[in-house]
Amino acid sequence: MSVPEDTAVPETPGIHDAEIDELFGPGGPLGGAVGSYKPRHSQTAMAKAIASAIDSQGTLIAEAGTGTGKTFAYLVPALLWGGKVIVSTGTKTLQDQLYNRDIPTVRRALHAPVSVALLKGRSNYVCHFHLERTLQNGRLTSREDVGYLREISRFVKTTSSGDKAELTKVPETASVWNLVTSTRDTCFGSECQYYQDCFVMKARKEAQQADVVVVNHHLFFADVALKDTGIAELLPSANTVIFDEAHQLPETATLFFGETVSTSQVLELCRDVLAEGLSHARDGADWARVVAPVERAARDLRLAFPEDSVRLALNQIAPSAAFFPALDTLKDCMDDMITVLEKQAERAETIQQCRDRANEILRQLEIWNAPEAPAGKLPPKPPAKTPAPAPAADAEGQAPASEEKPFYVLWVEAFSSSLQLHRTPLSIAPIFNKQREGTPRSWIFTSATLAVKRDFNHYAAQMGLWNAPAQSWPSPFNYGEQGLLYVPQNLPQPNSFEYTDAVIDAALPTIEAAGGRCFFLCTTLRAVNRAAERLRAEFEARGLAFPLFVQGEAGRTELLDRFRAAGNGVLIGSQSFWEGVDVRGDALSLVIIDKLPFSPPDDPVLAARIAEMEKQGLNGFVHHQLPSAIINLKQGAGRLIRDEGDRGVLMICDPRIITKNYGRRIWQSLPPFKRTRELSMVQDFFREQDERRAQAAQASAPAAVQPEPDLA
């Protein structure tokens, strides 16, 4: 049921607290729908706060500790209130979980007759046109891809959704998917011969008609920025927008409200121009000579930076550098190629498409460092306001001025074979606020990690949620009994050359005491590789039979499945394992974090934000770097205790948590574990855990069968 924009009100307004109490209480319908369900005070209180925000069409920032059950806490009031609901999650995995498991469970429990749709980005759906094209031109280079293509061709004949997540025989990371899916640039839209059968269009149509639509943050903000995914059409009729894993929003929104253009895009365009020109207008131009100067100019632009890896802000590039003439040459060559494409565009739709892509790339190249592109300066600090219980603007220096023109940081990033030009907003607050204007509706932002010591100012300022109510509900877990925080003694400073090896030396006895069952979380890929090298050698030398799983040696899902199955494994990973990973039970009893996760100081966007904050008399470290690191650390620490029966040790190796003045603020933001600096306490903790495990196993073992007496 869609609600028209001018009448976005529920048929039966208001959800009473007594109704929430009954639904979440003992003997309520949720207990009947979920076998392991237990009433939790925090969950009920959170549901009431969300119901109130939905009822008043207001905004709520809601932090709920691990184990609170925040998914049910927002789904129950959202489904009860009615109207159209958009739920946006942090990952496609969580999106599938909501659609396939959580929403059907709540819908059953409430007997709510709501329709639900799943909407992903177009790259998740097989494209009939590109599949047919790939089958015909046979550009595949490996036998593996040929087999995958055969599976996809069979899949298209039986699937109703076209969602590649349904085809488990072809890995999601297989390169063949790029050849059989469309992008915004390569989609013909209503001009396509397969338009009526298009899986993307079907998904959008279902989303238009559904009461509840499940999306992910990347899709949501890609649409807001590009008007490409269909959400722009959904928003006007939505009563409620819920962001789960909302701590990811600032980074995701920054990515999509900015612009990136790369030499790889230029080279890919050149390949397509040559192929389509030879296929449809061979006599129209010497296509090899048309694309050659553009390809050469793109490669020369990359070679303006001889290093393999570079991240530089525009003002860090010397005016005399080869980069600026190379950029001008690329723009001129692109312009010449577009002139040829304009003359031949009427020969084929695919050539028209190449022309449009070329125009878009040239537009991005031209505005990247155009003089009128504002760069620098955050919006001014807001005027002082009457104190309110909700968080006011903090020292991020970002103001609730939705009419403010966004300011951008211009920077380049060089990889081994490509160069990217980024245009990144210094603050997303004014842009996001503008998107929230218009039709009144409720906006719910929820995660386990939004606050720093119950202070939401950092997050509120990043998102421009000025004076939005913010509440926090504690986890139902008994962290004092279930966990131990261990900070080892005598480690060197994190910037010292021998630091990673010293961390491994300190970690080995704890890994041995835990019997493996460990996540070793690193802040850099270099530390991941060094830890893998050392631990592999140490395990062999010490005769420790702990299976080692290393990020990069397999996909994340496969590594986690193997880790769970092993029962005594050690998994080494970086940022992708700090959040969104759920390992319950004995398989994970130790989480080691090598360093406090501060952003690298050479990050151009971070440097620009700090510089501008300091111009305003603010402290970039205190008001931006530290709270960001704390929120990230809380995510990593949250991997340890995932269930009421879990027990384990969180080992943070960075001595700054003890030696620096800000260390207290960090550990006070973590779950209230018991704390120690003594290895012996850690070993005692695991010894007791082993005894409990042995007793439990003995109690559950079947009684031994007594032999019959020998009567002979």
d(CA 295, CA 272): 12
Do 518 and 544 contact (CB within 8 A), yes or no? Answer: no
In a shared domain, residues 152 and 40: no
Q: What is the mean pLDDT of the chain?
A: 86
Cβ distance 48 to 76 under 8 Å? no
Q: For residue 25, what are the contacts with CB-CB under 8 A and spacing of at least 6?
A: 39, 44
- How high is the pLDDT of residue 379? 41
State the DSSP code for 507. H
27 & 145 share domain:
no
Task: Indicate whether 19 belongs to any domain.
Answer: yes
* pLDDT at residue 212 in the model: 95
Co-location of 469 and 483 in the same domain? no
**Residue 405 maps to which CATH number?**
1.20.120
Domain that residue 139 falls in:
123-196
pLDDT reading at 406 higher than 50: yes
Judged against a pLDDT cut of 60, whether residue 271 lies above it is answered with: yes
Other CB atoms within 10 A of residue 135 CB: 15
pLDDT for position 225 = 64
What is the mean pLDDT of the segment spanning 75-87? Answer: 92
Separation CA 165–CA 470 (nearest Å): 36
Statement: residue 706 has pLDDT above 60: no
Work out the angle between the directed axes of helices 349-368 and 323-344 (0-180°, nearest 10): 150
Residue 381 confidence (pLDDT) = 41
Query: What is the widest separation between alpha-carbon atoms in the chain?
Result: 107
pLDDT at 131 over 60: yes
Bridge partners of residue 675, in order along the sequence = 485
Judge whether residue 221 has pLDDT over 80: yes
Residue 525 lies in a domain: yes
pTM assigned to the model: 0.84
Q: Label each residue of 460-475 as H, E or C.
A: HHHHCCCCCCEEEECC
Domain count, the chain: 4
Which of the given ranges, 159-173, 307-321, 506-520, has the highest pLDDT on average?
506-520
Same structural domain for residues 619 and 671?
yes
Question: Same structural domain for residues 345 and 372?
Answer: yes
* Tens digit of each residue's pLDDT (9 = 90 or more) over 451-462: 998 899 999 999
**Same-domain status, 19 and 134:** no
User: Which residue would you say has higher pLDDT here, 404 or 349?
Assistant: 349
Q: pLDDT value at position 396?
A: 42
Tell whether 186 and 240 lie within a shared domain: no
The whole-number average pLDDT for the span 601-613 is 85
pLDDT reading at 6 higher than 50: no
In a domain, 687, yes or no: yes
> Is 674 domain-assigned?
yes
**Which of 294-303, 340-349, 396-405, 509-518 shows the lowest per-residue confidence on average (mean pLDDT)?**
396-405
Lowest mean pLDDT among 183-192, 274-283, 441-450, 616-625: 183-192
pLDDT at residue 153 in the model: 92
Q: What is the pLDDT of residues 350-395, one digit of tens each?
A: 899 999 999 999 999 999 987 644 444 444 443 333 333 333 333 3
**Same domain, residue pair 467 and 350:** no
Burial of 665 (0-12, 13-18, 19+ CB in 10 A): middle
Report the pLDDT value the prediction gives residue 35, as an integer from 0 to 100: 64
Look at residue 232 in the predicted model and tell me its pLDDT: 60
Is 258 part of any domain?
no
Tell whether the torsion through CA atoms of 497, 500, 503 and 505 is positive or negative: negative
pLDDT at 337 > cutoff 90: yes
257 is a domain residue: no
The confidence band for 685, taking pLDDT boundaries of 50, 70 and 90, is: very high
Amino acid 698: pLDDT: 75
Residues 45 and 29 in one domain: yes
Which residue do the tokens 């009431």 mark? 48
In the predicted structure, residue 333 carries a pLDDT above the cut 90: yes
Instruction: Indicate if 462 and 486 belong to the same structural domain.
Output: no
DSSP strands (E only) in 177-254: 212-216, 238-243
pLDDT, average across residues 484-489 = 96
Share of the chain above pLDDT 90, in %: 54
Domain contains 145:
yes
Regarding whether 463 and 363 lie in a shared domain, the answer is: no
DSSP letters for 520-545: EE-SSHHHHHHHHHHHHHHHHHHT--
463: nearest Cα among 432, 440, 438: 432
**How far is the CA of 9 from the CAs of 82, 116, 226, in angstroms?**
9, 19, 28
429 near 462, Cβ under 8 Å? yes
In a domain, 170, yes or no: yes
Other C-beta atoms closer than 10 Å to the C-beta of 353 total 19
* Same domain assignment for residues 232 and 375: no
Q: Bridge partners of 570? A: 518, 548
Q: What is the pLDDT of residue 395?
A: 38
Average pLDDT over every residue of 621-643: 92
Residue 320 has pLDDT above 90, yes or no: no
What is the average pLDDT across 490-519? 95
Any idea what the CATH number is for the domain that residue 495 is in? 3.40.50.300
Local confidence band at 402 (pLDDT 50, 70, 90 cut-offs): very low
pLDDT at 697 over 90: no
| Residue 30: band (very low, low, confident or very high) from pLDDT cuts 50, 70, 90 | confident
